[in-house]
Amino acid sequence: MKCSEFLQELTNYLDGVIDDRTKTELEDHLSWCHNCYVVCDTTKKTIEIYRDSQLYELPEDLRSRLRSAIVSKCHAQKKAGSEGA
């Protein structure tokens, strides 16, 4: 397996959606190709760091403000709907 072939399969490999034979070929490639090992390992870390990053968490005060606004608009719409019916 060439490095370019390895890269094509990287996403499937990281997501665990490859057949056993391809997985064995990929892991054989990883055992001797240091560059691909590093790319694979650091790509995995990239995903984990973003997944754990808690970027853009919704603050509780803003959260309840938004929810109140949504709920009151839903009530208004429901009322308008029933009056129009």
Is residue 80 part of the contact set for other proteins (CB under 8 A)? no
Cβ-based neighbour number of residue 44 at 10 Å: 13
CB 36 within 8 A of CB 29: yes
Instruction: State the minimum distance, in angstroms, from the CB of residue 44 to other proteins.
Output: 6
Using CB under 8 A, which residues numbered 6 to 45 contact other proteins? 7-8, 10-17, 27, 30, 35, 38-45
Quick one: how far is CA 19 from the chain centroid?
22
What gap in Å lies between CA 62 and CA 68, rounded to an integer? 10
Interface residues with other proteins (CB under 8 A) are 4, 7-8, 10-17, 27, 30, 35, 38-53, 55-58, 62-63, 66-67, 69-71, 73-75, 77-78
